[in-house]
């Protein structure tokens, strides 16, 4: 898009924000319906393109086609999860059959002791499947995955270990909050009750150590396993140790909102709101963040639709928990405004070569990996945000 075209898009968004509430809501309904039709077409195309249920969409290649990965990669659960979401909306047997096929390809991952990402891998695939098509088999896989994940918990540190074989002694990343849903769910459905205690303790430790006074989060902390003290606070995918990586902040909003859902502990709700307030107060006019809130070349830095989609989805849920009408309106309106941008150019991939749903995501800019591409987890949370928006009218 040219600079002039981008400016025109910004003007259109500003005009929409000034319209009466009824007109804006109607416009978003139209945008969402159109985006879902586009998403259905793209996902059908992707199923045919990938074909092999042992391979999973990850990010777009230069020609727009999918780069795929094996099930062992942390992103693998998002493709079957997106198919389940599309089945939820369309009730099309094609999506159910496809979702079941790629979910089955994840089965062995329930025993993967080498990763903290079992929540992403198993709950986004099997968890979504069990919600729409409950099965004892699916539930057994989820509970086993939770048991496997719990083996990475260190009671001295009070956290689940993130990575193995890295430069840190005991690294814990803010992303890890997202995997707690697996533990909470399993503890309520036949798994050991200790799974809930582990999830709560991890959230408490993250709440204590990952946040700055202004509500921004650190990406990576390393702990001393002999006494649980924090050794360093670093970043891995953000701009700098003291900057705030946008997707990491979105993980925090989502993770603490979800933790409040299971615990109803007001401390976690307050933490989710602190993370959300930091995020939304620093958004540019079109509501899609730059990849890092302190990236040095803003406004000439890449945007990250994955952070936007995660945040939008989380804000829809967060708005249902807050205590005042003003807070509810603030979070709900912001969730809708983010979603409105994602359903529109230049972020919706319609009319481009991408086989995905959204353009302009960032995986890891410091590593020069997956910068300004389509990424499957952006699509997954985009669909989730849309479905949560549609639930508002029911």
pLDDT at site 227: 98
Of 63, 112, 175, 379, catalytic: 175
pTM of the model: 0.93
- Statement: residue 20 has pLDDT above 70: no
Could you confirm whether 63 is annotated as catalytic? Answer: no
Asked whether residue 133 is assigned to any structural domain, the reply reads yes
For the chain, percent of residues with pLDDT exceeding 90: 92
pLDDT at site 22: 39
* Average pLDDT rounded to a whole number, residues 349-370: 98
For the chain, percent of residues with pLDDT exceeding 70: 93
* Average pLDDT rounded to a whole number, residues 178-185: 98
The position carrying tokens 């591409």 is: 373
Q: C-alpha angle 286/291/295, rounded to 5°?
A: 105
Asked whether residue 96 is assigned to any structural domain, the reply reads yes
pLDDT at site 351: 98
pLDDT at site 6: 36
The position carrying tokens 């096929």 is: 101
Asked whether residue 17 is assigned to any structural domain, the reply reads no
Confidence at 26, pLDDT banded by 50, 70, 90: low
Of 8-12, 77-81, 271-275, 303-307, which gets the smallest average pLDDT? Answer: 8-12
- Statement: residue 52 has pLDDT above 80: yes
* Average pLDDT rounded to a whole number, residues 171-199: 97
* Average pLDDT rounded to a whole number, residues 227-244: 98
Could you confirm whether 117 is annotated as catalytic? Answer: yes
The position carrying tokens 């890890």 is: 176
* Average pLDDT rounded to a whole number, residues 356-361: 98
- Statement: residue 5 has pLDDT above 50: no
Strands 153-154 and 66-69: unpaired
- Statement: residue 9 has pLDDT above 70: no
The position carrying tokens 């993130």 is: 162
Asked whether residue 242 is assigned to any structural domain, the reply reads yes
CATH number, position 223: 1.50.10.10
Asked whether residue 198 is assigned to any structural domain, the reply reads yes
- Non-local CB neighbours of 249 within 8 Å, separated by 6+ positions: 174, 216, 217, 275, 278, 279, 293, 307, 311
Of 4-13, 99-108, 135-144, 167-176, which gets the smallest average pLDDT? Answer: 4-13
Q: C-alpha angle 257/259/263, rounded to 5°?
A: 120
pLDDT at site 393: 80
The domain tally of the chain equals 1
Asked whether residue 372 is assigned to any structural domain, the reply reads yes
Distances (CA, A) of 1 to 5, 16, 65, 370: 6, 20, 21, 20
* Average pLDDT rounded to a whole number, residues 354-360: 98
Of 117, 292, 304, 379, catalytic: 117
Confidence at 165, pLDDT banded by 50, 70, 90: confident
For residue 209, give its domain range. 27-391
- Statement: residue 300 has pLDDT above 70: yes
Quote the tokens at residue 68.
């795929």
Task: Reduce the secondary structure of the chain to three states and give it as a string.
Answer: CCHHHHHHHHHHHHHHHHCCHHHHHHHHHHHHHHHHHHHHHHHHHHHHHHCCCCCEEEEECCCCCEEEECCCCCCCCHHHHHHHHHHHHHCCHHHHHHHHHHHHCCHHHHHCCCCCCHHHHHHHHHHHHHHHCCCHHHHHHHHHHHHHHHCCEECCCCEECCCCCCCCCCEEEHHHHHHHHHHHHHHCCCCCCHHHHHHHHHHHHHHHHCECCCCCECCEEEECCCCCCEEEEECCCCCCCCCCEHHHHHHHHHHHHHHHHHHCCHHHHHHHHHHHHHHHCCCCCCCCCECECCCCCCCCCCECHHHHHHHHHHHHHHCCCCCCHHHHHHHHHHHHHHHHHHCCCCCECCCCCCCCCECCEEEECCCCEEEEECEHHHHHHHHHHHHHHHHCCC
* Average pLDDT rounded to a whole number, residues 101-127: 98
Higher local confidence (pLDDT), 3 or 115? 115
- Statement: residue 166 has pLDDT above 90: no
- Non-local CB neighbours of 185 within 8 Å, separated by 6+ positions: 123, 127, 142, 146
Asked whether residue 6 is assigned to any structural domain, the reply reads no
Higher local confidence (pLDDT), 139 or 25? 139
Distances (CA, A) of 85 to 66, 97, 131, 336: 19, 13, 10, 19
């Amino acid at each position: 898009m040219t600079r002039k075209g981008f400016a025109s898009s910004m003007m259109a968004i500003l005009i929409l924000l000034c319209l009466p509430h009824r007109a804006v809501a109607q416009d978003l309904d139209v945008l969402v319906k159109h985006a879902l039709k586009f998403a259905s077409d793209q996902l059908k195309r992707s199923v045919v393109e990938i074909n092999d249920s042992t391979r999973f969409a990850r990010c777009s290649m230069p020609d727009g086609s999918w780069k795929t990965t094996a099930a062992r990669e942390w992103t693998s659960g998002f493709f079957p999860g997106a198919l389940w979401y599309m089945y939820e909306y369309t009730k099309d047997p094609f999506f159910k059959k496809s979702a079941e096929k790629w979910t089955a390809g994840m089965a062995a991952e329930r025993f993967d002791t080498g990763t903290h990402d079992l929540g992403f891998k198993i709950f986004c695939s099997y968890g979504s499947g069990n919600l729409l098509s409950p099965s004892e088999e699916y539930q057994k896989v989820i509970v086993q995955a939770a048991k496997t994940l719990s083996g990475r918990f260190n009671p001295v540190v009070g956290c689940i270990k993130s990575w193995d074989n890295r430069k840190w002694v005991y690294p814990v990343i803010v992303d890890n909050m997202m995997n707690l849903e697996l533990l909470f769910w399993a503890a309520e459905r036949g798994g050991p009750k200790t799974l809930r205690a582990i999830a709560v303790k991890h959230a408490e430790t993250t709440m204590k150590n990952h946040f700055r006074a202004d509500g921004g989060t650190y990406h990576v902390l390393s702990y001393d396993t002999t006494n649980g003290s924090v050794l360093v606070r670093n970043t891995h995918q953000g701009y700098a140790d003291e900057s705030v990586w946008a997707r990491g902040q979105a993980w925090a909003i989502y993770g603490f909102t979800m933790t409040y859902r299971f615990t109803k502990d007001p401390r976690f709700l307050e933490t989710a709101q602190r993370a959300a307030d930091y995020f939304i107060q620093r958004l540019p006019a079109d509501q899609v963040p730059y990849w890092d809130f302190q990236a040095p070349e803003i406004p000439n830095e890449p945007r990250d639709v994955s952070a936007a989609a995660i945040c939008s989805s989380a804000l829809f849920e967060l708005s249902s928990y807050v205590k005042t009408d003003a807070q509810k309106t603030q979070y709900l309106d912001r969730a809708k405004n983010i979603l409105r941008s994602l359903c529109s150019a230049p972020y919706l991939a319609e009319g481009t070569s991408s086989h995905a749903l959204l353009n302009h995501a960032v995986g890891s800019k410091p590593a020069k990996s997956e910068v300004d591409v389509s990424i499957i987890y952006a699509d997954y949370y985009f669909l989730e945000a849309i479905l949560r928006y549609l639930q508002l009218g029911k």
